[in-house]
Amino acid sequence: MAEASLAELQDRIAYRFRNPELLQEALTHSSHVQERARGGRDNQLMEFLGDAVLNFVVTTHLVRTFPHFDEGELSQVRANLVSAPHLARVATLLNLGQYLRLGPAEERTGGREKSGILVDAVEALVAAVYCDGGLDSARALVENWILPRDLEQAVTNLAPTNYKGVLQEYLQARRRGPAEYKVVEESGLEHQKIFVVEVRVDETLTARGQGSSKKAAEQQAACHALGELRKRERSGD
């Protein structure tokens, strides 16, 4: 692969490798090594390591961002963020397919666009940055390219949890009245509206959420209210 192409990718991810061979290994599919009989290393070990690093970085970020989530909710969100469909979209944004080193047969069968190969390459890239620059560099790559910019907004879409239902069950179990939802703000064009919804629990708690639909805004508001209620319960308030 031409050095210019590798330089272009490094510019894209805003990381310059001290050892470019690590990047080359991350981009080398097993078919390249097997079919060209050149020896060398493919990216399978890198992919294995990258999967572990990615899960660790995403987990620590989620725990810091959503301290009120329980283990099940955190696991659900993390599973979506490290899922094959999400990582394949990341690979597309990075144009990662054009940098891959493939064997002739894999090249002929469209390997540069195969989801499985692209997902492995993303994980291998995370590992390569980790091996070359350490955890902070790998964390920067993950936060810039794999974690959504507005994570709180994205959680409503990524996690299938029905927070309105969970909140209702939480309140019923504690013999408290139902939550009340109200649209307090609308903005944007008719086909690109943003809704802000306020949820009220008794007279003791108010939380807000926003989204591109009333339903999404209500779910986010319920999520925030649930987190605050759990935090108060843990602290004894």
Quick check: 76 and 161 in contact, CB under 8 A? yes
CA distances from 165 to 17, 75, 174, 231 (A): 48, 19, 14, 19
| Cα–Cα distance measured from residue 52 to residue 54, given in angstroms and rounded to the nearest whole number | 5
Task: Indicate which residues carry an active-site annotation.
Answer: 51, 123
Q: Name 35's Cβ contacts closer than 8 Å, sequence gap at least 6.
A: 103, 104, 105, 106
Strands (E), the chain: 180-187, 194-201, 205-211
DSSP 177: P
Q: How many whole angstroms separate alpha carbon 72 and alpha carbon 213? A: 26
Going by C-beta distance under 8 Å and a sequence separation of 6 or more, which residues neighbour residue 84? 115, 116, 119
Give the distance from CA 47 to its chain's centroid: 17
